Structure 1
């Protein structure tokens, strides 16, 4: 929960900065005042907000998904489907972490056009965000395997805010 709270604060601050920065730059541009550095800073902020926000969505099970077919199966089959999907997601995240880290190393000497900082600060957001998502997926994988061991699949059913059940 501590990681989630830090992510929430980071995303809220980042999104606030992003909104204020873009609004201010657009308003000042209308008056003829140039804030060209704002585009680069907005790109930096946006990348971090996207990847950390993706982990928040994953932790809360708020990513877009289509479970129409999966809901037709029994709970043990659904658990197996979710386990298989989580393994696929895990491999994809490891792929992005590996190649994203390499990309960040390659971009170390590249700088922004208007900011005197390395472009690696943008590219490293992908592997960091995927590392956070990998942690979330690993916790889910442990849960799905635990369901199989205990033969108790009620843990994959979660009450949503509308009162119905979702997986």
Structure 2
């Protein structure tokens, strides 16, 4: 359910971003000022990036270099993926903590052309980080479960689907 909501959000956000940037460029050619579109595009871009990052992790479609890792046996790969996920979890905890502090700090700051607080843009970091924490914790549980069951077939299945494992 959450994945479906994220996909809809991403589709709307990317569409809005493309329309804003394209229309601002075309209208600027004709001398029409759309300076507010830059701030709205910046706000949209922040949210699209963080929600999209969670979606990429959730669907195993994020960028990675796995030439070396793919040479290891499945049990070792599972351990590497578990270690990487734990590192990601630690980093995301920092993103959520310091991002929340940044939201509080930016509460009084306003966008140049929009009558809203800049915290709406900075909130994308902790919200996206929290969503990614849920995804990474689910992955950690899967990797620990692989060790307990001594069954690593889900790693092979994910590779066959064309995505990375992390």
Short-chain TM bin: over 0.9
Separation in structure 1 between the aligned mates of residue 109 and residue 120 of structure 2, nearest angstrom: 10
Residue 33 of structure 1 is matched in structure 2 by 32
Does the residue aligned with 2:113 lie in a helix, a strand or coil?
coil
Q: How does 1:1-167 map to 2 (within 5 A)?
A: 2-157=1-156, 158=158, 159-161=160-162, 167=165
**Aligned-pair CA distance for 1:166:** 6.1
Normalised TM-score (structure 2):
0.95
Separation in structure 2 between the aligned mates of residue 25 and residue 166 of structure 1, nearest angstrom: 37
Separation in structure 2 between the aligned mates of residue 7 and residue 152 of structure 1, nearest angstrom: 31
Q: Would the aligned equivalents of 2:61 and 2:164 in 1 still touch at CA under 8 Å? A: no
- Structure 1 unpaired stretches of 5+: none
> 1:130-154 CA distances to partner (integer Å, 9 max, x unpaired)?
1111111000000000011111111
Separation in structure 2 between the aligned mates of residue 72 and residue 139 of structure 1, nearest angstrom: 25
In structure 2, do the counterparts of structure 1 residues 98 and 67 end up closer, same or farther at CA, with 3 Å as the change threshold?
A: same
**Aligned-pair CA distance for 1:160:** 2.6
Normalised TM-score (structure 1):
0.94
- Structure 2 unpaired stretches of 5+: none
The higher relative CO (CA closer than 8 Å, separation ≥ 6) is in: 2
**Aligned-pair CA distance for 1:15:** 0.6
